Amino acid sequence: MERRNAWLSYDEKEEKELELVAKSYRSFLDAGKTERECVSELIRQAEAAGYVSLEEKIASGEQIKAGDKIYAEGMKKILAFFHVGQEPLEKGMNILGAHIDSPRIDIKQNPLYEDTDLAYLDTHYYGGVKKYQWVALPLAIHGVIVKKDGTVAEVNVGEDEEDPVVYITDLLIHLAGKQMQKKAAEVIEGENLDILIGSRPLSDLPDDKKKEAVKENILKLLKEKYDVEEEDFLSAELEIVPAGKARDCGLDRSMVAGYGQDDRVCAYTSFLAMLEMENPKRTSCCLLTDKEEIGSVGATGMQSRFFENSVAELLEGMGCYSEMTLRRTLKNSFMLSSDVSAGYDPAYGEAFEKKNAAYLGRGIVLNKFTGSRGKSGSNDANAEYVAKVRKIFDDHEIAFQTAELGKVDVGGGGTIAFICALYGMNVIDSGVSVLSMHAPWEVTSKADIYEAKKAYKAFLLDA
């Protein structure tokens, strides 16, 4: 059942629409390189489209009603958008769920040190990365430093053309004989992913400071620009990400290359689908979570009560909250766990089973199950629900394909689907195929991005 390449079905009008979506998506990737930045950018766009804060709505005492556009935000890292439908919420929602965190390198709490006239920041990587991919690249620092008085200094260094970048060194090939014999997982050790940030010593220091003159210069620069002290690193969240903007990829400009496409490609197309909804029958929801790359844990991960609490507040604002109504609302909902899939790469074809692989350009991907080995950790959607989603996509002429995440026993992965399924709702994974997933730069097809946006809108309309 080989699927046709979606590019072959587009007319001139659709190709123009596709390019507009791709351009908007690249801009989002540039604006949202951290979960905090994603939340800030999406709230900005949502408010411009008429969405209002759930917190503000509750504080005003105004009852929530059909047609209202509401968003809930948690700790500036997790978001839920609701477009209230005509049907009672108790009958369920149509939910698009994605995550906005991506693999990266985090700065430790006591990070700054000097060694042989070079200043570094000590790090701890976040999520599943091939550590050797992160060396010898121009890198940027994004995040916040929060002082004890609550003052927040926002940090974004390395993105502007006039900015400096930071860097992780690698051993020169001339001296790398032993290094080259190591397993790929050990070529670069986690504790060696330290960020080179300076080499210029500060002059005219007292004797007790001269041994760390480069570090002292860095502290001086931080004080001048952000008014922070070394101790303020204790309450900082600084993330190291690849420097540079997302780009068109390929001589035919058919793809997008950029950082963080797992899973911001699904997050943004889900959000676009929400913005295009008008007077939905069932309440539409777009849930964008944090911490998926490390197990969906913590107060901003899917395993938290954020989503459940937000729905409870929504029901309260509509004047119909009860514990039973909340449980029925969640149970009766339909969801697409909008997460990426591994695109078939002929350079590494031995890792895939070709009949059940996802291919760039053939549309959005349905993963009935994910997990690893014997479907461990998988949601495994039921056949009736798969048929329902198939029909929606076919009725709206959406290009879609089905896939597994590589050959059985080769590896595996997971999404937020199994957590949402705990409520008893129907959930299936549905996202965009990606080449070089979890690498500093990933690649997606513009056709798949476009089909994902169309598919998510169709689901919100007809599920």
pLDDT per residue as tens digits for the range 87-127: 999 999 999 999 999 999 999 999 999 999 999 999 999 99
Exposed/middle/buried for residue 396 (C-beta within 10 Å: 0-12, 13-18, 19+): middle
DSSP state of 150: S
The identity of residue 280, as a single letter, is P
Q: Give the number of other CB atoms < 10 A from CB of residue 219.
A: 17
- Strand 283-289 versus strand 93-99 pairing type: parallel
Cα–Cα nearest to 189, from 120, 264, 135, 111 = 135
Distance of CA 257 to the CA centre of its chain: 15
Give CA–CA dist 454/305, Å, rounded.
30
Give CA–CA dist 414/370, Å, rounded.
6
Which residues are paired to 283 by β-bridges? 93
For the chain, helix (H) and strand (E) counts, in that order, are 11, 22
Give CA–CA dist 300/212, Å, rounded.
38
* Structure tokens belonging to residue 351: 């890792």
Q: What is the pLDDT of residue 44?
A: 98
Helix/strand/coil for 58: helix
Q: Give the number of other CB atoms < 10 A from CB of residue 58.
A: 15
Place of tokens 């699904």: 266
Give CA–CA dist 93/285, Å, rounded.
7
Task: Tell me if 389 sits within 8 A of 336, measured CB to CB.
Answer: yes
For residue 44, give every residue at least 6 positions away whose Cβ sits within 8 Å of its Cβ, in sequence order, or none.
none
Exposed/middle/buried for residue 407 (C-beta within 10 Å: 0-12, 13-18, 19+): middle
Element (H, E) at 431: strand 426-431
Q: What is the pLDDT of residue 424?
A: 95
Cα–Cα nearest to 57, from 66, 46, 68, 67 = 68
Distance of CA 108 to the CA centre of its chain: 22
- The end-to-end CA distance of the chain, in Å, is 25
Cα–Cα nearest to 232, from 151, 165, 156 = 151
Q: What is the pLDDT of residue 77?
A: 97
Q: What is the pLDDT of residue 414?
A: 77
DSSP state of 343: B
Q: What is the pLDDT of residue 405?
A: 81
Q: What is the pLDDT of residue 404?
A: 87
- Strand 52-53 versus strand 69-74 pairing type: parallel
Question: Taking the alpha carbons of 387, 388, 390, 391 in that order, is the dihedral positive or negative?
Answer: positive
**Low-confidence stretches of the chain (pLDDT beneath 50):** none
Q: Identify each DSSP E strand in 279-425 by its residue range.
A: 283-289, 334-337, 341-342, 364-367, 371-372, 400-402, 412-413
